[in-house]
Amino acid sequence: MGFFQKMFSNNPRKSSSISKMPVLTPQPLLPNIQENINYVKEALFHTDDLIHQTLSIPGYNSEFLFLYSMCDQKKIRDEILKPISDHRHLDQELKEILIDMRANKHDDLENVIDLLVKGNAVLFIEGFTECYVIEVRSSHERNVAEPSNEKTVEGSHAGFVESLTINLQLVRKHIENRNLVVRRYKLGKQTRAETVLIYLNNLANPELIDEINERLRSINADNITSTEFIEEYIEDTSLSPFPQLLHTERPDRVIANLLEGRAALLAEGSPTALLMPVTFFSFYQSPDDYYFRSFSGSFIRFIRIVSFVIAICLPAYYIAVVSFHYEVIPQDLLLPIKSSIEHIPYPPILEALFMELTIELLREAGIRLPGPVGQTIGIVGGLVIGDAVIKAGLVSNAMIIVVALTAISSFVVPSHEMSSSVRILRFPVMIGASLFGFFGIVYSLMMILIHLCSLHSFGTPYFAPVAPFRLKDWKDMIIRFPQWKLNQRSNDPAPQKLSQEGYSGEGHHGDDQAE
Amino acid sequence: MKIVKIILSICLLLLTGCWDQQMLKDDRLAYVIGYDLSSEGMIQSTTVLLKVSGLPADKSEISEVHTATGFTSRHTRDITDREVPGKLSASKLRMLLIGEDMAKQGVYPLLDVYYRDPKSALNSKVAIVKRSAHDLIATKTKSTQINGEFNKLIKSGEKRTVVPTVNLELICTHMLDPGEDFAVPYLTQHDTNPVIEGIAMFNDDKMMGVLNSEDSLMYLLMKNKLAKTASLTLEVDKNEAQKPYNYIALDFQRVKRKLNVSVDGYKQIKVLLDLKVKVTAIEYPKDHLYLNRTLEKLDQKLSQDLTHKAEAVVRQMQDCNHDGLGIGRRIIAYYPNTWKKLNWEEDYRNIEIIPKVTVEIVNHGIVN
């Protein structure tokens, strides 16, 4: 018993050390340059990428420090050395030089060290009580290209990058609204990752924002490097198979969700935004649904919801049918199925597990291998194994079809996390089916449904608008009504204002489209 | 503790499974079963198993047939199961053939096992075979493998309104209903092939007589059971030199039936059966159908002929004590007091059934 408790308890022995967080006292500047430099060097443990150089400003004894791994040499030349050399022969004031350098005054050495680590250069001048910090950070940003895991046919092809500033800009550019609020957090005791929460102040529910704020503040961890780390700290139920925060790398998706009254979390160094609160059905919505016309958008979305059912139930259904209820097979289908499984040595559940495992292996191998090799693996796996396995009599034809269809449907989901949840969820259903037939399927689906209904995401029901039921939100659930019909926002994030659209378009859409 | 409880309950759940498994790959499926009365009064069953070409090495083209003799149909199945490698299952049964001798003794004892077993295929077709079901199956299997042949034959008969659409489930209600009787297809053998000869009429669970396939069409029309198509060739003339000129072929389009049961006093039951049929002349070499005079004459002639036919069919039904029209059921419903006084087994023969058929040719094809 003690073993289990130890395994699953959340580290109770160390929970008392929360208050021992070191608080650095401000350290005023020392009078001597050398002392200052030594202090900084001590603080950074004589790290070898710390460079100090002497500057020859006429009349002043000065040195500057920077971490060369973080700084752009060209910027150092332009921002620090050039202003000095420009003013060398003139009897200029030091002030002018500093203005040219765009330097900031600082007098707390601890603060200066933090800035140094971030890629600033620090200038010490003999006899001054302040030092000057000049921003010379080097940055290597990739283009705001479309994220490869969330491609769409139409619409914006921009994607988030690893820089928070650029990401925020991408969002702000589309919502030119003074209500867009950015709240900044520093998360992780070691990493001090810069994280921002963005929301629309006039839409997002204040209680939701308070809740997110509280959860973010309560994170007491050393290492937070990207938004995905934050997810596990702030989600409601970590032991649920369903993701409760929506990951996206698409600015348009973030913007659309912000406009529905949700909040987004972005972090420096991570191209992934977390959207909250979300419902189950948000994972089945893609920006494409809105870029297409209502008819085709609805069709695609409907197919996706069907794919969820197929991905979870189809292998289980097949197993149940061939091992418990073969009465339900139509007469003309009986002979082909019977002859394909007649000489298979294993029970259907093992067959299915074997094939599912093969598909998962192929998928994983395809991701890890470089592009062209990955495709080869796909072909080798799909064609060669698929064909050989039937010829060898290990797996039946019908099972290959079932597993292939299931695999395809699980990849239809626009969200990667949901896709992996679905892939995991079908195993309990399959086992249930192999033990109890249809009864087992119904039983496991019921468990899933109960779980879905009881799940919450930041205080809002996860399975809305099915449970709790709200017919108005069904307009944008399985099918998508035309934009001019979506008069109200969806109610699940509890926005401050429900109405989002007036009677636009009703006039010329005429009476035949009447309610 | 919680974790242990969860693990224990999962284990319990998993350990209870699989007890009622029936693997499709392990079961041997009986596709056609025939029952005959053996010489000693026992039941002889003939079981055809579904032919599954699993391995390429297995090339034989003949279906597997097992014959067993026992006291009841369940007994014969148990005996057959001893012969069959793998578990014998009748849950995908397609065709149940019953020999004529057996059917005359009553079919309920045979079928009882099918009605009790929750896994039995109640949508399986039932047919009576002239002489022996075993012979029909045996000759057929000598030449080819039987999979869906019998079933398809019956189904096409149903579509052409030759035999009633019945299966194991549907005949059960009528078998136990005193007010209505059922009929099933009646097969015979032509060379090695089964042929639909007509229908076998039942009283309760005993076969009483046969209607040939033209009469069975009339019978089904009177029951208001016109299926997709129904065609009938009738003689309308006798004087033409060339034989085909004497005949007309009709395709029934619509049937309107009025069945009026009236009771006058004590046991005076009169049934008026009014049939209005709309037909297409699909074959009439003599032609001139565009003339109203010809049409009227033909309509009259056909009405007369068909009324005679219907009367003949009704007579046969009454002779066989076969209440296929469900007149008894109507009396039970509308005249319960009369029904209590009736002895339907006896009195059905004596009631008056007056059929009247009115034919209207509404279409005569695309030629003018």
- Across the interface, do B94 and A331 touch by the CB < 8 Å criterion? yes
Q: Which residues of A touch B20 (CB under 8 A)?
A: 324, 437
User: Closest-CA residue in chain B for A5?
Assistant: B1
Helix or strand run (H / E) with residue B113: helix B108-116
Cα–Cα distance measured from residue B4 to residue B352, given in angstroms and rounded to the nearest whole number: 79
Residues B214 and B336 placed together within one structural domain of the fold: no
Residues of A with CB under 8 A from a CB of B: 1, 4, 8, 321-324, 326-327, 329, 331-332, 334-335, 337-339, 341-344, 347-348, 431, 434-437, 440
Evaluate whether B226 touches B161 at the Cβ level (below 8 Å). Answer: yes
Out of B227, B251, B279, pick the residue that ends a domain. B227
**Residue A476: band (very low, low, confident or very high) from pLDDT cuts 50, 70, 90:** confident
In degrees rounded to 5, what are phi and psi of residue B32? Answer: -130, 130
Of B14, B25, B151, the CB nearest to A341: B25
**Residue A8: band (very low, low, confident or very high) from pLDDT cuts 50, 70, 90:** low
Evaluate whether B219 touches B210 at the Cβ level (below 8 Å). Answer: no
How high is the pLDDT of residue A23?
Answer: 60
Residues of B with CB under 8 A from a CB of A: 1, 3-4, 13-14, 16-18, 20-25, 27, 29, 50, 52-55, 91-92, 94, 119, 121, 147-148, 151
More confident residue, B308 or A502: B308
For residue range A320-361, what is the model confidence (pLDDT) as tens digits? 999 999 989 988 888 888 888 888 889 999 999 999 998 888
Tokens 């057996």 appear where? B102
For residue range B143-154, what is the model confidence (pLDDT) as tens digits? 777 767 888 889
How high is the pLDDT of residue A461?
Answer: 92
CA dihedral B50, B54, B56, B58 (to 10 degrees): -40
**Residue B287: band (very low, low, confident or very high) from pLDDT cuts 50, 70, 90:** confident
Q: What is the domain range of residue B290?
A: 230-368
- Across the interface, do B25 and A334 touch by the CB < 8 Å criterion? no
Tokens 């702030």 appear where? A234
Residues B138 and B69 placed together within one structural domain of the fold: yes
- Across the interface, do B148 and A331 touch by the CB < 8 Å criterion? yes
Residue A322 forms part of a structural domain? yes
Residue B105 forms part of a structural domain? yes
The CA angle A140-A142-A144, to the nearest 5 degrees, is 140
Q: Which residues of B touch A332 (CB under 8 A)?
A: 148
Evaluate whether A265 touches A253 at the Cβ level (below 8 Å). Answer: no
More confident residue, B173 or B53: B173
> Which alpha helices (DSSP H) does A77-182 contain, by range?
82-87, 94-101, 109-117, 164-174
Residue A474, pLDDT > 50, answer: yes
Residue A498 forms part of a structural domain? no
Please state the ipTM of this predicted complex: 0.82
Nearest to A336 by CA among A271, A253, A399: A399
- Across the interface, do A331 and B17 touch by the CB < 8 Å criterion? no
> Which range has the worst mean pLDDT, A450-454, B4-8, B186-190, B238-242?
B238-242
Of B24, B50, B148, the CB nearest to A341: B24
Cα–Cα distance measured from residue B185 to residue A350, given in angstroms and rounded to the nearest whole number: 45
Q: What is the domain range of residue A335?
A: 301-461
**Residue A100: band (very low, low, confident or very high) from pLDDT cuts 50, 70, 90:** confident
For residue range B222-257, what is the model confidence (pLDDT) as tens digits? 888 888 888 888 888 887 778 888 888 888 888 999
Residue B305 forms part of a structural domain? yes
Mean pLDDT of chain A: 85
Evaluate whether A228 touches A272 at the Cβ level (below 8 Å). Answer: yes
Nearest chain B Cα distance for residue A319, angstroms: 10
Q: How many residues does chain B have?
A: 368
How high is the pLDDT of residue B118?
Answer: 86
Q: Based on the structure, what is the number of domains in chain A?
A: 3
Mean pLDDT score, B263-280: 86
Residue A481 forms part of a structural domain? no
Mean pLDDT score, B114-142: 88
The DSSP 8-state label assigned to residue A473 in this structure reads G
Residue B184, pLDDT > 90, answer: yes
How high is the pLDDT of residue A19?
Answer: 46
Of B14, B55, B94, the CB nearest to A343: B55
How high is the pLDDT of residue B200?
Answer: 93
> Which range has the worst mean pLDDT, A273-277, B265-269, B308-312?
B265-269
- Across the interface, do A323 and B24 touch by the CB < 8 Å criterion? yes
Contacts of B152 (CB under 8 A, 6+ apart): none
More confident residue, A215 or A149: A215
Residue B17 forms part of a structural domain? no
Nearest to A60 by CA among A124, A135, A104, A133: A124
Residue B4 forms part of a structural domain? no
Cα–Cα distance measured from residue A306 to residue A432, given in angstroms and rounded to the nearest whole number: 21
- Across the interface, do A335 and B147 touch by the CB < 8 Å criterion? yes
Q: How far is CA B245 from CA B233, B236, B302, in A?
A: 12, 9, 15
- Across the interface, do A334 and B91 touch by the CB < 8 Å criterion? no
For residue range B329-348, what is the model confidence (pLDDT) as tens digits? 999 999 888 888 888 888 88
Q: Where are the beta strands (DSSP E) in B216-349?
A: 231-235, 247-264, 268-283
Residue A515, pLDDT > 50, answer: no
Residues B82 and B194 placed together within one structural domain of the fold: yes
Q: Which residue type sits at B141?
A: T
**Residue A509: band (very low, low, confident or very high) from pLDDT cuts 50, 70, 90:** low
Contacts of A27 (CB under 8 A, 6+ apart): A39, A108, A109, A110
Residue B54, pLDDT > 70, answer: no
Nearest to B30 by CA among B70, B82, B84, B71: B84
Residue A13 forms part of a structural domain? no
Residues B130 and B33 placed together within one structural domain of the fold: yes
Of B1, B14, B17, the CB nearest to A1: B1
User: Closest-CA residue in chain B for A328?
Assistant: B92
Nearest chain B Cα distance for residue A432, angstroms: 8
> Which range has the worst mean pLDDT, A429-443, B108-122, B280-294, B337-351?
B280-294
Residues B185 and B43 placed together within one structural domain of the fold: yes
The CA angle A220-A223-A225, to the nearest 5 degrees, is 120
Out of B227, B261, B293, pick the residue that ends a domain. B227
> Other C-beta atoms within 10 Å of A3: how many?
8
How high is the pLDDT of residue B128?
Answer: 93
Of B17, B54, B121, the CB nearest to A327: B121
Residues B244 and B215 placed together within one structural domain of the fold: no
Long-range contacts of B330-338 (CB under 8 A, 24+ apart): B330/B179, B330/B259, B330/B261, B331/B179, B331/B261, B331/B263, B331/B269, B332/B178, B332/B179, B334/B261, B335/B263, B338/B263, B338/B267, B338/B269
Residue B8 forms part of a structural domain? no
Residue A3 forms part of a structural domain? no
Evaluate whether A158 touches A146 at the Cβ level (below 8 Å). Answer: yes
Cα–Cα distance measured from residue A333 to residue B135, given in angstroms and rounded to the nearest whole number: 29
Residue B112 forms part of a structural domain? yes
Q: Which residues of A touch B146 (CB under 8 A)?
A: none
3-state secondary structure A75-87: HHHHHHHHHHHHH
Residues A254 and A337 placed together within one structural domain of the fold: no
Helix or strand run (H / E) with residue A333: helix A331-341
B56 three-state secondary structure: coil
Residues A314 and A444 placed together within one structural domain of the fold: yes
Cα–Cα distance measured from residue A279 to residue B240, given in angstroms and rounded to the nearest whole number: 83
How high is the pLDDT of residue A425?
Answer: 92
Residues A69 and A202 placed together within one structural domain of the fold: no
Residue B95, pLDDT > 50, answer: yes
Nearest to B107 by CA among B76, B150, B73: B73
How high is the pLDDT of residue A3?
Answer: 62
- Across the interface, do A327 and B119 touch by the CB < 8 Å criterion? yes
Residues B47 and B86 placed together within one structural domain of the fold: yes
Nearest chain A Cα distance for residue B9, angstroms: 14
Residue A514, pLDDT > 50, answer: no
**Which of A331, A333, A394, A399 should be substituted to probe chain B, the one whose Cβ sees the most B Cβ atoms within 10 Å?**
A331
The DSSP 8-state label assigned to residue B246 in this structure reads G
Residue A406 forms part of a structural domain? yes
Residues B165 and B177 placed together within one structural domain of the fold: yes
Residues B342 and B364 placed together within one structural domain of the fold: yes
- Across the interface, do A322 and B1 touch by the CB < 8 Å criterion? no
In degrees rounded to 5, what are phi and psi of residue A500? Answer: -125, -5
How high is the pLDDT of residue B186?
Answer: 93
CB pairs under 8 A between A and B: 71
Nearest chain B Cα distance for residue A1, angstroms: 6
Residues A98 and A219 placed together within one structural domain of the fold: no
For residue range A423-461, what is the model confidence (pLDDT) as tens digits? 999 999 999 999 999 999 999 999 999 999 999 999 889
Out of A461, A494, A509, pick the residue that ends a domain. A461
Residue A418, pLDDT > 50, answer: yes
Residues B180 and B45 placed together within one structural domain of the fold: yes
For residue range B316-332, what is the model confidence (pLDDT) as tens digits? 999 888 888 888 899 99
Residue A230 forms part of a structural domain? yes
**Which of A394, A436, A441 should be substituted to probe chain B, the one whose Cβ sees the most B Cβ atoms within 10 Å?**
A436
- Across the interface, do B54 and A436 touch by the CB < 8 Å criterion? no
Q: Based on the structure, what is the number of domains in chain B?
A: 2
Residues A311 and A448 placed together within one structural domain of the fold: yes
For residue range A159-194, what is the model confidence (pLDDT) as tens digits? 999 889 899 999 998 888 889 999 999 888 888 888
Out of B227, B256, B274, pick the residue that ends a domain. B227
**Residue A4: band (very low, low, confident or very high) from pLDDT cuts 50, 70, 90:** low
Mean pLDDT score, A6-18: 54
Residues B259 and B308 placed together within one structural domain of the fold: yes
In degrees rounded to 5, what are phi and psi of residue B55? Answer: -85, 145
Residue A511 forms part of a structural domain? no
Residue B324 forms part of a structural domain? yes
Residues A261 and A370 placed together within one structural domain of the fold: no
Residue A251, pLDDT > 90, answer: yes
- Residue-wise over A142-160: b if at least 16 C-beta within 10 A, else e? eebebbeebebeebbebbb
Residue B6 forms part of a structural domain? no
Cα–Cα distance measured from residue A458 to residue A278, given in angstroms and rounded to the nearest whole number: 8
User: Closest-CA residue in chain B for A341?
Assistant: B25
**Residue B13: band (very low, low, confident or very high) from pLDDT cuts 50, 70, 90:** confident
Residues B192 and B105 placed together within one structural domain of the fold: yes
**Residue A129: band (very low, low, confident or very high) from pLDDT cuts 50, 70, 90:** confident
Contacts of B81 (CB under 8 A, 6+ apart): B87, B88
